[in-house]
Amino acid sequence: MKILVGYKRVVDYNVRIQVKPDGSGVVTEGVKLSPNPFDDIALEEALRLREKGVATDVVVATIGPADCQAHLRNGLAMGANRAIHVVTTQAVQPLTAARTLLKLIEKEQPDIVILGKQAIDDDCNQTGQMLAALWNRPQATFASKVEINGSAARVTREVDAGLEVIDVDLPAVITTDLRLNEPRFIKLPDIMKAKSKPLETIPLESLAVESGDHLKTTAYAAPAKRSKGVMVKDVAELVALLKTKGLV
């Protein structure tokens, strides 16, 4: 069994995001870039399935500029067998990403595709669902537990009402939630081994992917600063202040 894992690079979650002075985007120069946390969980789950003997080949794939190779080496150091780098200098939106991953699926023929449920840079939570629709295969999103039984997967999903357990036939797309697992710590010997693992580069243009980037961002702005809190003596004063602000 082969597992394909989407592995996106994002601004590290510990970095305080700064908007460029001209409002054209966020500052990425000189800031720490790391794997999307949900994608680390996706890769960890794929590796655990391989360790259980369910899978034999784990492939990580990313879409991004040339310097994403260091990011892919991180996935190889975690334990992935191979990496695929779809090279593009442009940021891609979810539909384009899903169409690109579909091309990789046609090439690799994986039994399972595991993605993080969303990326922390855009929080779209769309790529996995779009990929399943394009691939015409089942999807199991927000997974907090995954069990593989032959040609089917039993997935426990985190939903608004609690937990939902579903069975899906393979091949299928699974997206991971936070409580699925805790990604492993990468050791120095694994980092050294990753340097010799296969990493394939493919220009995005060579895949003939139809662009799905239909949204245009006109400007970025930092969130408004929170106003200072006000202490009130009683409920009557609170209601009066809310009426003054037009909130009630």
Map tokens 């369910």 to a residue. 54
Compute the Cα dihedral for 148, 150, 154, 155 and give only its sign.
Answer: positive
| Distance separating alpha carbons of residues 129 and 91, to the nearest angstrom | 19
pLDDT of residue 229: 82
Query: Does residue 79 contact residue 47 with C-beta atoms inside 8 Å?
Result: yes
- How far apart are the C-alpha atoms of 48 and 63, rounded to whole Å? 24
Q: 9 has which bridge partners?
A: 35
109 — alpha (psi -120 to 50), left (phi > 0) or beta?
Answer: left
| CA pair distance 88, 203, nearest whole angstrom | 7
DSSP H or E segment with residue 194: helix 188-194
Rounded CA separation 175/180 (Å): 10
* Domain around 43: 2-244
- The pLDDT value given to residue 176: 96
Per-residue pLDDT of the chain (248 residues; tens, 9 = 90+): 999 999 999 989 888 888 888 888 888 888 898 999 999 999 999 999 999 999 999 999 999 999 999 999 999 999 999 999 999 988 899 999 999 999 999 999 999 999 999 999 889 999 999 999 999 999 999 999 999 998 999 999 999 889 999 999 999 999 999 999 999 999 999 999 999 999 999 999 999 999 888 888 888 888 888 878 888 899 999 999 889 888 88
pLDDT at 72: 95
pLDDT at 222: 83
How many domains are there within the chain?
1
Domain containing 62 — which CATH number? 3.40.50.620
Burial of 30 (0-12, 13-18, 19+ CB in 10 A): exposed
Q: If you search the block for the tokens 């699974």, which residue do you land on?
A: 174
C-beta atoms surrounding 51 within 10 Å? 10
Are 46 and 55 a contacting pair, CB within 8 Å?
yes
Locate all alpha helices (DSSP H) within 61-122, ordered by sequence: 69-78, 94-108
pTM of the model: 0.86
| Pairing verdict, β 172-176 and 57-64 | unpaired
